[in-house]
């Protein structure tokens, strides 16, 4: 073999070795990629298939108290759609024995409550009582029997956490009463939005000395220990605990926190990592009725996006439960005064359309919490409209686009959207109303009527706001009153009131419907009377 051939063979051998090394490296890289992809697929599958042991719904009965047959029908619907837990915020509708003054005119009888819980038991639904015990206790503190427990004698929303022994005596009675009827292993003590912390002189002294976290934490610890002593697991809203994470250290290990999130960053209330690292069981809560909703506005897209985002986020975080909240009011009240030193009652500042109009969102929650696939609001709503109302695909899309149109608020005559006028907002509401009127459901027309009614209520309100804005202009003249009055009286308010009663009479008591109607029309009727005087 010549030297030239030997060198040629050496080159070929080196080339083959290099090629083989490159091939091995490529194969190694490919195997690594496949392995990572496999892990990622498996991880996503684990998250997707991770079911919440607690699939719940929260009912708020602070206002819009449901008749018992409607309440049972709602529980049956929950059961049929995989919901196994119902958090009942009975508030003043609960028939307290030792503290009967707290119960209001719509309070159920003890027999009714027992019957309802037995019915839920038969449906395999765990009924968790929610007894607000810190903030949101206006319905208790408005009674002068409990006036010494108030953190503030002008704002009755919160107990004074320094008065621990007196509060413990009260809530020991209320907790024991509820535990005697409810069979759930859980007991919800509330604990959210305690905005008056440190307001009273004695609370401020403790906060200044030991910190706001101790002021909150010592009191919450007392409540949680009280629940544990009754053989139950305490459940607490997580917002204030997120704000004061040091308070978590002293709480019973059985405590469960509910991280309520209506479409914001996890750290909105505080460092979310500290809650996750606390070792406590955590549940999540989105909402179907919350800010900015009121009589005249429902932000459908916001609530659907909340469902879409937060439920998978809860799975990823390892939450053990997901409870949909449904707020009839914000829980902020103003006094109806009888004199400068006494008052008759408290008026809920924000009210929303009754829960009968929200089957679309409720069913969206059912779908999202049970499905392993990502929830897609547009697809869901359009398919819902096809299945529930018999629409074709085009009409289903039209329906959804109409619901989402211009969900903006009006505040002091201004729209909370740059360069958007009240007149333009009223025009958009009329467009939605007329669009919905053109759609002809072939089934479940009664349910569809709620969308029409909500749209009509919104349109009438925005026209009323147009008139109010005109009346507030420096250019307004007495001669303008007749035209503005004509604009108001052209609205179909009597027809709307009748339809509201018809659609909600199975759900609400007659007195409630009358009160809802009176408050919903207050601004309109006041303007009519004032303009009649001017014309």
Low-confidence ranges of the chain (pLDDT < 70): 1-49
Task: Return the structure tokens found at 231.
Answer: 């053989």
What pLDDT is attached to residue 343? 82
- Residue 209 to residue 531: CA distance in whole angstroms: 57
Nearest to 464 by CA among 534, 417, 529: 529
What pLDDT is attached to residue 331? 86
- Residues 6+ away with beta carbon under 8 Å from 295: 351, 352, 353, 457, 461, 519, 520
What pLDDT is attached to residue 340? 82
What are 129's strand-pairing partners?
88
Nearest to 91 by CA among 113, 60, 64: 60
CATH topology of domain 52-370: TIM Barrel (3.20.20)
195-225 pLDDT, tens digit each: 999 999 999 999 999 999 999 999 999 999 9
What pLDDT is attached to residue 397? 98
Nearest to 370 by CA among 336, 322, 412, 417: 322
Contact present, 368 and 322 (Cβ < 8 Å):
no
Task: Return the structure tokens found at 463.
Answer: 């026209």
In three-state secondary structure terms, 336 is: strand
73-106 pLDDT, tens digit each: 999 999 999 999 999 999 999 999 999 999 999 9
pTM: 0.89
Three-state SS annotation for 233-297 = EEEEECHHHHHCHHHHHHCCCCCEEEEECCCCCCCCCCCHHHHHCCCCEEEEECECCCCCCECCE
Listed in sequence order, the DSSP H helices in 278-358 are 300-317
């Amino acid at each position: 073999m010549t030297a030239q051939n030997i060198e040629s063979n050496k080159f070929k051998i080196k080339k083959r070795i290099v090629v083989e090394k490159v091939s091995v490296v490529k194969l190694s890289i490919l195997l690594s990629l496949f392995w990572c992809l496999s892990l990622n697929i498996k991880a996503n599958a684990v998250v997707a298939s991770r079911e919440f042991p607690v699939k719940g719904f929260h009912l708020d009965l602070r206002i819009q108290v449901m008749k018992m047959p409607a309440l049972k029908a709602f529980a049956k619907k929950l059961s049929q759609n995989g919901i196994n837990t119902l958090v009942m915020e009975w508030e003043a509708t609960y028939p307290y024995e030792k503290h009967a003054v707290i119960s209001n005119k719509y309070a159920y009888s003890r027999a009714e409550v027992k019957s309802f819980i037995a019915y839920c038991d038969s449906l395999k639904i765990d009924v968790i009582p929610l007894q607000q015990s810190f903030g949101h206790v206006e319905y208790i503190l408005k009674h002068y029997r409990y006036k010494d427990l108030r953190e503030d004698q002008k704002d009755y929303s919160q107990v004074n956490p320094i008065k621990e022994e007196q509060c413990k005596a009260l809530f020991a009675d209320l907790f024991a009463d509820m535990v005697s009827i409810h069979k759930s292993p859980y007991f919800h003590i509330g604990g959210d939005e305690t905005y008056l912390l440190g307001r009273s002189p004695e609370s401020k002294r403790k906060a200044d000395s030991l910190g706001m976290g101790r002021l909150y934490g010592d009191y919450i610890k007392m409540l949680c220990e009280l629940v544990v002593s009754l053989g139950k697991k305490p459940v607490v809203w997580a917002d204030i605990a997120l704000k004061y994470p040091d308070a978590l250290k002293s709480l019973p290990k059985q405590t469960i926190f509910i991280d309520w999130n209506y479409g914001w960053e996890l750290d909105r209330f505080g460092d979310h990592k500290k809650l996750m690292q606390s070792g406590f069981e955590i549940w999540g809560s989105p909402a179907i009725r919350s800010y900015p909703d009121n009589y005249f506005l429902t932000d459908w897209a916001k609530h659907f996006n909340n469902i879409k985002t937060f439920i998978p986020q809860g799975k990823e975080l390892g939450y053990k439960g997901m409870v949909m909240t449904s707020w009839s009011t914000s829980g902020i009240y103003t006094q109806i005064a009888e004199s400068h030193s006494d008052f008759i009652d408290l008026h809920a500042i924000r009210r929303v359309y009754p829960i009968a109009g929200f089957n679309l969102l409720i069913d969206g929650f059912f779908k999202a919490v049970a499905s392993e696939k990502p929830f897609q609001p547009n697809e869901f709503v359009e398919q819902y409209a096809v299945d529930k109302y018999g629409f074709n695909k085009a009409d289903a899309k039209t329906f959804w686009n109409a619901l989402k149109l211009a969900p903006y608020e009006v505040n002091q005559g201004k729209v909370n959207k740059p360069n958007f006028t009240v007149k333009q907002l009223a025009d958009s509401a009329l467009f939605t109303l007329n669009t919905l009127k053109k759609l002809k459901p072939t089934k479940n027309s009664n349910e569809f009527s709620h969308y029409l009614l909500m749209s009509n209520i919104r349109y009438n309100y925005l026209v009323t706001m147009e008139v109010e804005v005109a009346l507030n202009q420096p250019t307004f003249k007495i001669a303008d009153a007749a035209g503005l009055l004509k604009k108001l009286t052209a609205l179909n308010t009597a027809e709307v009131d009748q339809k509201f009663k018809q659609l909600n009479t199975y759900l609400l008591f007659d007195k409630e419907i009358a009160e809802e109607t009176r408050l919903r029309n207050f601004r309109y009727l006041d303007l009519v009377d004032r303009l009649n005087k001017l014309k």
